Structure 1
Amino acid sequence: MKTTMTTTTTAAQLFLCLTFLGKMMNMSTAEAAAASLLHDIELIESFLVECTSPYALCAFANCTINADETTASCGCYGFDEPSGISRMRISLIPDEGLRQATVEAYYEACVSSPDGCGVQLPLELTRDKTPVCNAMNDESLWPGADLVSTYSAELRPENNVQVDEDGNYLASWECEAAPGRFIPVCMGAPCWYSAPSENPYHFGQHNVTCTCPLVEVTVDYSVPGGLQDPCSKEVVSEGLYVQGWPGSIFSKLADNPELVEPAWIAVENAFPNNFGM
């Protein structure tokens, strides 16, 4: 997945820098060490980790904007088998402390690898070895939720997802920018079991409803898969976080810490009783 890195330094990133520096006092200078660590932290946050746990798949969801106009309710597929493998983008982990801990665990794995932290490690090397996986399994990531929305390759053929010979996604739909229109990005969102229902946008029945933050459509974007045109104003489609194209709506959210925090606050506020607020 290709991403565009943000240059915004967050308090969490600075905290992690100080934490790592305390473990690496043999580096030539603190200034050089801080710059190197900050670069690694920003890069690590753009990576994915794999977890073995129950999860929800919203890549082909059709959604309804909620009354708060900052979130949407999306019908997604719930995979409740504990042996399911799915992926989570580190920068979209909703809890800041958990995100920090996951970055640190990833750093400890990549810093000793032959390629260092400059590239994504093979996903199987860190599978189930980061704190976010534990939080998904013990349901502490979103207390009160049944599942968390992540991503897997399940149901790609059924939902008309095309890939090239290298396994890269091919666009099924090309959508133009539409400022003032909002669409959801569901990775990391909380989900609850709901009555099975069918929707012509995707294959089969969805059995969970996920509460997802909305992102304004200020850039052109491509959608792989889906059985109906997702660009129409009448269709509030998710299905964006599987993209690898530059400028995607997924990257707009995931690469910008200043958008991530208010996005999850909006989700918390959408159903306060579920989170003890």
Structure 2
Amino acid sequence: MNTTGTTLVIGATGTTGSRTAARLTAAGHRVRAAGRRATPVAGAEPVAFDWHVPATHAAALDGVDRVYLVPPVGDSDPAPAMLPFLRQARTAGVHRAVLLSSSAIPEGGPAVGAVHQALPGLFEQWAVLRPSWFMQNFTGTHAHARSIREEGVIRTAAEGGRVGFVDAEDIAAVAVRALTDGQAPNTDLVLTGPEALSHDDIAAMITEVTGRAVIHRRLPHERIRDRLATQVPVEFAAMLADLDRAIASGAEDRVTDTVQRLTGRPPRAFRALLEEEMRRGG
């Protein structure tokens, strides 16, 4: 039974937004699914939305009381687009906001860190999800997944640094709790999987589970930056390369109990995700 109003899910066809929208509708919540095109999402009301087109914002917010915020993709400074929208959302009646950030970006840090810092002053009920790197980067449409399929190679500047890779389904499960529980978390939540793995570990596990030989090729920071700059804006490419360097220094070598604590079940391991992908013909 729906006990809330309408939830606006921004990025509703993306990695976490699609899963969050699906979980909300399955639980009987009213969902408005926002994307650059009004793409049908099962059980949800589609609406066209673009962070950089303010004319799309009012219709997306009409009748909404909570919102799941996925920042504009590839934007190294999203605050100028996001903060005016959030102020408009508060005026329109939104009382709870859940922001997707990153474990690598602290409050007040670069990129979406400025939005994180502003959120508590805008909404009485809020949460910032700070997931580690997605497991789906190796199985979906991400550059790593493509290079695995096409070349059997993962390229990073992360060296042997370990990461608590997290399943996007676990992120969505926490997002739903943060959006719908009687009391909002009113804090930031670092989300990881159950173990910290290096990219060498990831390559070995993919090889073992799929039978497809995959290696991790360690590249210098500058080469990763330049490769990424052919795919995303230069400033964003530099930031991503810097995050690889931070991984190499141990910044992401941690696991947390957040998924277990908020959902009541342990986070899924990478091997389990790979095995499911194999069963589904991945």
Whichever structure has more helix as a proportion of its residues is 2
TM-score range, shorter chain: under 0.3
Q: Give TM-score scaled by structure 2 length.
A: 0.24
Bigger relative CO (Cα 8 Å, ≥ 6 apart): 1
